[in-house]
Amino acid sequence: MTGMTDDDAGLWLREYHPATPGSVQLVCLPHAGGSASYYFPVSRALAPDVEVLAVQYPGRQDRRHEPLVRDLPELARRVHAVLRRRIDRPLALFGHSMGASLAFEVARLLEHEDGVAPVRLFASGRRAPSRVRDERVHLLDDRGLIADVRRLSGTEGGLLGDDEVLRMILPAIRADYTAAETYRYAPGPLLSSPITAFTGDRDPKATVDEVRSWQDHTTGAFDLHTYSGGHFFLNRHQAAVLDIIQAQLVTVPAGTRTA
């Protein structure tokens, strides 16, 4: 995507709280069916030391009339086209579930096309890109898809019980499931960015061993943090996770462009 305008960037990136000038930017990528507003509490907690930029995918909330993206590498290219305009200061990536795979592909594009490695990649609730499962939930009928989302507690039950809201969000959920489940890692150069991984010890979508394999995708440092809970352990352990993120980002020197 060339010729990206400021208006286009405004569609993709949401800034909820002001941050100290020159602070590290933390780009947050939502899970399947998620939206930028999921990261409002993260922005509030990390401001003003970290500038949180939450990504809004097409096809949801105020972008609900835009075409959905069902291919994860294509979605990564579109996010990258926006972020490459903002690499004048330190940038880190955080993604949960599908968002972690997306963050990885965006990090690859930034490093190998722009020569700018994110100062850190935070991967939450997702197995490493090289650990593949044959998942086909996106092929189920609406009832089956909704059952899986409820099983993971990824969308509030109240929303899934409202027929009008459900009709609005179900296409986005299916598109994201399609992108996440059909994604296949293409071997290539390792990242130089350090990777921090977070996982729940009872996550049906990713075992601790599968998450530990993130260390195979970087030449940089790696650390793994395991918490009690399932796929959305993050909701219960948000404070502990944010403490780690803040500690690892506020020590990044001003003006750092690469890891």
Report whether the peptide linkage leading into residue 48 is cis, meaning its omega lies within 30 degrees of zero.
yes
- What is the pLDDT averaged over residues 115-134? 97
Catalytic positions, please?
97, 231
| 214: number of Cβ within 10 Å | 26
Tell me the per-residue pLDDT of 8-39, one tens digit each, with 9 for 90 and over. 788 999 999 999 999 999 999 999 999 999 99
Residue 159, pLDDT score: 58
Predicted confidence (pLDDT) at residue 169 exceeds the cutoff of 90: no
Task: List, in sequence order, every residue forming a beta bridge with 124; answer none if it has no partner.
Answer: 96, 198
Predicted confidence (pLDDT) at residue 175 exceeds the cutoff of 80: yes
| DSSP-derived pairing of the beta strands 24-29 and 91-96 | parallel
- What is the pLDDT averaged over residues 228-243? 95
Residue 4, pLDDT score: 53
Helices (H), 17-156: 40-46, 72-83, 98-114, 142-152
Structure tokens at 224: 């793994």
Distances (CA, A) of 59 to 31, 70, 201, 225: 14, 11, 32, 32
Give the whole-angstrom CA distance, residue 234 versus residue 200: 8
Angle between helical axes of 142-152 and 163-182 (0-180°, round to 10):
80
Residue 84 domain-assigned?
yes
Residue 232 domain-assigned?
yes
- Cα end-to-end distance, the chain, whole Å: 26
- The number of domains in the chain is 1
Residue 251, pLDDT score: 80
Predicted confidence (pLDDT) at residue 56 exceeds the cutoff of 80: yes
What CATH number did the domain enclosing 55 receive?
3.40.50.1820
Percent of the chain having pLDDT more than 70?
90
Residue 161 domain-assigned?
yes
Structural domain boundaries enclosing 84 = 6-249
Residue 2, pLDDT score: 47
Does this model's pTM top 0.85?
yes
Task: List, in sequence order, every residue forming a beta bridge with 95; answer none if it has no partner.
Answer: 29, 123
CB 259 within 8 A of CB 117: yes
Residue 259 domain-assigned?
no
